[in-house]
Amino acid sequence: MDNQEALQRTLNRARRALQILEEEKASYGIRVPVDLQIELEEKQKEITSLEVRLSQLQGKHPASLPDNLPRYNDVFVGRKQEIARCLEALSPEERGWGVTIDGIGGMGKTALALEVAHLARQQALFDAYLFVSAKTTRLSIEGVRQETLALSSLDSFCREFAKGLGETDIVKMTDATERRRALLDALRGRRTLLIWDNLETLNAEERDMIAEFLRKLPTPNKAIITSRRRTGESAVTIRLDRLLEAEALELMKEKGRSHPRLAQELNATKPEILTALYEASGGNPLALDWTLGQVAHKGYSISVALERLRNAAKSPDLYGFLFADAAQTLFEKDRTVLSALVVFLTPAKTAALADATDLAITEIQVSLERLVTLSLVNDVDGERFGLHPLTRTYIRAVVGGTDTVVTAPLSGIRFDSAAQRKVLRYWVDFAQKYGGNSKDAYKTHDKLEAEWQNLEGVATTLREMASIPGALKDRQAAQMLIDLENALFNFLWFRGYWDEVVRLGEWVYQAGKALGQWSDASWDAYHVASIYYFRAETDRAASWAAQMAEAMERGGSRWGKAVAIQLQGLIAKQRQDWAEAERLYQEALAIYRELEDEYCEAIALNSLGEVARSQGHYDRAESYYKQALAIEEKLGNKESQATYCAGLGNLALDRDRPSEARPWCERELVLAQEVGRQDLVADAQAGLAQVMEKEERYTEALSLAQSALDIRERLRDQGLDFSRRLVERLRRKAEME
């Protein structure tokens, strides 16, 4: 009501002003000054505009309201912030001519423009709402459909807008320049909203002419442009990005309301599958709509439709529609940058792209500017750049040479797989630079942690390129995968990425076998077996230990065979076959001493200490532990020192000597935290908690025990059950304090 009253007051003032102008006109007789005549016409337009807007607020739809907004029956969810920014940009207080909405195909640019236009109409912000599209195609469930009535020039738009305003004289003009001027004149004194849709289909010259027209648009008229190409001088620019997951799930639910079969499938689908659908679509509304359409109209299950979405070869129409506008405009360096960004799973800086591609930073910057303009690349805060998931999926498919994809509308784009391979090599070199198994490698583990998402993506890509498991397709990719895993193992082990150790180890074991590199295969079997041992999954550990021993026999060294023997000893110890474990450890120890390998000698001594301690032979266990610790103190390996301090601390606790255990546990904790080995951090915390329990400091002990439990639950460490019992016991005691 307040808006109506305010608008009514404005209308009343305008009518009084018009009356004064008309009285002044009458005083001149037939010789009315030109400026007065112009002022009269503009005031009449203003009154007509106010009357139309007031009618809208009163719930009427006057015949004098030019309005060709498309029927609005589709589902619209989310985009609340974007809507607010658009409406703010369309207000008279905003000095620019309006809003540019850009983004990759299917992101909902037109839908957002129409949503904003309808909201503007509800609020009576304008006296006309005109929509014109340059769209030439649309995507249906059956594929891409061509539009027959597409506009391709500024003059075409001007004719359509003039027709919508009822300006037939302007429509009939033969000179395009005069038509533009006449349309601008006709808009003076009005408040018209012009929506220019899908301008990416026009050529550069036409887009520039439209930009010039909009710069001259008389206020308070406004415009909304949608385009896959970034533009928007003198306007608020909104780059439309993915829907939030909650919004995407709401969209699925709303679509289900119109299609009972889809609703049934959605209700029967596990939440994690719906999340996977969201992630595969990259939050792209069109991709979601297309996928849900496969379920609603073609009878697919959601899982099958999801697989089609993930596989660009099975949905060439979708991917071609999303990226077709870029097909003819990419240069070779643009394709190189896209190939690099496919490998970067997190936004990349220009310096990193330059390092990875060997292109100059200036060349990278030029290409990135063009790719951002084409909405193929997103620019993120901090001058970082990344790909939308759908862009990534398509380019990976094209680089892989999938025939079906190459026949899609994007056949004009050619990607050289050598560019992608160069970036993959960059990340393998990165892992080797900051990883490895030297005693000080932990100092650079933060570098690997910061880039773990990229490194994990590289591993997956190399595995797919090599076709592991299966018939080997790419020997170079298989070798890079081996190099990558070797560089990352200690980092993954220390930082608690144990599931990833198992996954990469299994892949590289297969790669080593496929290449006939049995030493590589054996070490990765060892890595997998070690994780299963630390998780007390003894049968699995034994299986992989046997595979390690077999591979080592086919291509290993004497030292490697000793490690295989010691691994068998670990399995025997976990099965409480103490005699067999000690025999195997002693055999491995003899070989290490023969080879003068003090590092492995210390490991074997520690293992013997574990066997002795498990049998209650505490003095012998202490001797073994201290021998091992002395060697590592000489070698300066802090991770191994933490391990052997753990043995001495646990031994003191077994002897019920908490005051003796404390310094060992404290030293273990400091060393473990320094090198970042999470299982040893948990072991030290659990040990200190037991010391504090003996000291009746239950609350402090509970905090440490809970921290240890949190780590062990994440790792699924063999000490998990012990930690759970310790926490429960300490919690009861703390409550009684």
What pLDDT is attached to residue 648?
Answer: 97
Separation CA 579–CA 444 (nearest Å): 41
Beta bridge partners of 223: 98, 194
513-518 CB contacts, 8 Å cutoff, 24+ apart: 513/551, 514/466, 514/468, 514/472, 514/478, 515/472, 515/475, 515/478, 515/479, 515/482, 516/555, 517/482, 517/555, 518/551, 518/552, 518/554, 518/555, 518/556
* Contacts with 328 (C-beta within 8 Å, 6 or more apart), sequence order: 412
Cis peptide before 70 (omega within 30 of 0): no
Q: What's the burial of 643, exposed, middle or buried (CB within 10 Å: 0-12/13-18/19+)? A: buried
The CA R_g of the chain, rounded to the nearest whole Å, is: 35
Which pair of structure tokens corresponds to residue 513?
A: 């076998």
What pLDDT is attached to residue 32?
Answer: 76
Residue 305 has pLDDT above 50, yes or no: yes
Residue 1 has pLDDT above 50, yes or no: no
Separation CA 155–CA 158 (nearest Å): 5
Which residue carries 């909009």 as its tokens? 214
Which pair of structure tokens corresponds to residue 274?
A: 């719906």
Highest mean pLDDT, choosing among 116-120, 295-299, 322-326, 493-497? 493-497
> For 705, which DSSP code?
H
Q: Are 170 and 179 in contact (CB under 8 A)?
A: yes
Q: Which residue, 489, 518, 514, is CA-closest to 503?
A: 489
Q: pLDDT over 90 for what percent of the chain?
A: 47
Which of 399 and 264 is assigned the larger pLDDT? 264
Separation CA 564–CA 523 (nearest Å): 9
Average pLDDT, the chain: 87
What pLDDT is attached to residue 405?
Answer: 45
Average pLDDT over residues 575-602: 96
Which pair of structure tokens corresponds to residue 72?
A: 């609005």
Residue 408 has pLDDT above 50, yes or no: no
Confidence of residue 479 (pLDDT cuts 50, 70, 90): very high
> For 724, which DSSP code?
H
CA 40 vs. chain centroid, Å, equals 58
Torsion 592-597-598-604 (CA) sign: negative
What pLDDT is attached to residue 282?
Answer: 84
Separation CA 258–CA 45 (nearest Å): 44
In one letter, which amino acid is 260?
A: P
Highest mean pLDDT, choosing among 140-154, 258-272, 536-550? 536-550
Q: pLDDT over 70 for what percent of the chain?
A: 92
Q: Which residue, 133, 190, 186, is CA-closest to 162?
A: 186
Which pair of structure tokens corresponds to residue 342?
A: 């496919």
Residue 141 has pLDDT above 60, yes or no: no
In one letter, which amino acid is 468?
A: I
User: CA dihedral in degrees (467, 469, 472, 474; nearest 10)?
Assistant: 40
Confidence of residue 308 (pLDDT cuts 50, 70, 90): confident
Residue 137 has pLDDT above 60, yes or no: no
Which pair of structure tokens corresponds to residue 243?
A: 């829907």
Weakest-pLDDT range from 165-174, 234-243, 594-603, 648-657: 234-243
Confidence of residue 200 (pLDDT cuts 50, 70, 90): confident
Q: Compute how many other C-beta atoms are within 10 angstroms of the C-beta atom of residue 404.
A: 13
Residue 237 has pLDDT above 50, yes or no: yes
Across the beta sheet with 348-349, the strand order is 348-349, 384-387, 377-380
Cis peptide before 469 (omega within 30 of 0): yes
Q: Are 589 and 604 in contact (CB under 8 A)?
A: yes
In one letter, which amino acid is 487?
A: A
Residue 409 has pLDDT above 60, yes or no: no
Q: Which residue, 402, 252, 387, is CA-closest to 314?
A: 402
Confidence of residue 87 (pLDDT cuts 50, 70, 90): very high
Collapsed DSSP state (helix, strand, coil) of residue 540: helix
Residue 5 CA neighbour count, 13 Å, CB half: 2
Confidence of residue 145 (pLDDT cuts 50, 70, 90): low
Tell me phi and psi for residue 377, to 5 degrees. -130, 140
Average pLDDT over residues 455-460: 93
Q: What is the tens place of the pLDDT at every residue in 164-186?
A: 888 899 999 988 899 999 999 88
Strands 98-102 and 143-146: unpaired
Q: What is the tens place of the pLDDT at every residue in 666-701?
A: 999 999 999 999 999 999 999 999 999 999 999 999
What pLDDT is attached to residue 372?
Answer: 83
Q: Are 713 and 676 in contact (CB under 8 A)?
A: no
Q: Are 345 and 453 in contact (CB under 8 A)?
A: yes
Residue 566 has pLDDT above 50, yes or no: yes
Confidence of residue 403 (pLDDT cuts 50, 70, 90): very low
